[in-house]
A = this chain, B = another copy of it.
Amino acid sequence: MTQVGVNGYGTIGKRVADAVAAQPDMELVGVAKTRPNFEAETAARKDYPLYAAVPERADRFAADGFDLAGEVDELVAAADVVVDCTPSGIGAENASMYEAHDTPAIFQGGEDADVADVSFNARANYADAVGADSARVVSCNTTGLSRILAPLSETFGVEKARVTLVRRGGDPGQTGRGPIDDILPDPVTVPSHHGPDVNTIFPDLDIDTLGMKVPATLMHTHSVNVTLASDADAADVLDLFADEDRLFLIPPGADIDGAGKLKEFAHDAGRPRGDLWENCIWAESVTVEGRDCYLFQAIHQESDVVPENVDAIRALRGDDDAAESMATTEAAMGVGIDY
CB-based contact A208/B259 at 8 Å? no
**In the complex, what residues of B have CB within 8 A of residue A151's CB?**
none
CB-based contact A183/B162 at 8 Å? no
CB-based contact A215/B212 at 8 Å? no
CB contact between A216 and one of B182, B186, B188, B298 (< 8 Å): that residue: B182
CB-based contact A221/B183 at 8 Å? yes
A287–B188 CA distance with the chains assembled, in angstroms:
11
Give this chain's copy count.
Answer: 2
Chain A 211-260 interface residues, beta-carbon cutoff 8 Å to B = 212, 214-221, 223, 225, 257-260
A221–B179 CA distance with the chains assembled, in angstroms:
14
Min Cβ gap A284→B in Å is 5
Q: How large is the interface on A (under 10, 10 to 19, 20 to 34, 35 or more residues)?
A: 35 or more
CB-based contact A212/B208 at 8 Å? no
A166–B212 CA distance with the chains assembled, in angstroms:
9
**In the complex, what residues of B have CB within 8 A of residue A292's CB?**
160, 162, 208
Contact with B along A141-183 (1 / 0, CB 8 A): 0000000000000000000101010101000000000010111
**In the complex, what residues of B have CB within 8 A of residue A223's CB?**
164, 210, 212, 223
A190 within 8 A of B: yes
A122–B88 CA distance with the chains assembled, in angstroms:
49
CB contact between A219 and one of B183, B186, B214, B284 (< 8 Å): that residue: B183
A289 within 8 A of B: yes
A292–B209 CA distance with the chains assembled, in angstroms:
12
Min Cβ gap A173→B in Å is 13
A282 within 8 A of B: yes
Known: A182-B258, A285-B189. A294 touches B208 (CB 8 A): yes
A216–B188 CA distance with the chains assembled, in angstroms:
18
CB-based contact A287/B190 at 8 Å? yes
A64–B222 CA distance with the chains assembled, in angstroms:
50
CB-based contact B260/A188 at 8 Å? no
**In the complex, what residues of B have CB within 8 A of residue A298's CB?**
183
A184 within 8 A of B: yes
Contact with B along A113-144 (1 / 0, CB 8 A): 00000000000000000000000000000000
Q: Which of A166, A185, A212, A225 has the most CB of B within 10 A?
A: A185
A98 within 8 A of B: no
CB contact between A181 and one of B216, B220, B296 (< 8 Å): that residue: B216
A-B contacts, 26 listed (Cβ < 8 Å): A162-B162, A162-B225, A164-B223, A166-B166, A166-B183, A166-B212, A181-B217, A182-B216, A182-B259, A183-B216, A183-B219, A183-B221, A188-B285, A188-B296, A189-B287, A191-B287, A191-B289, A208-B225, A208-B289, A208-B292, A210-B296, A212-B223, A214-B214, A214-B216, A215-B215, A215-B216
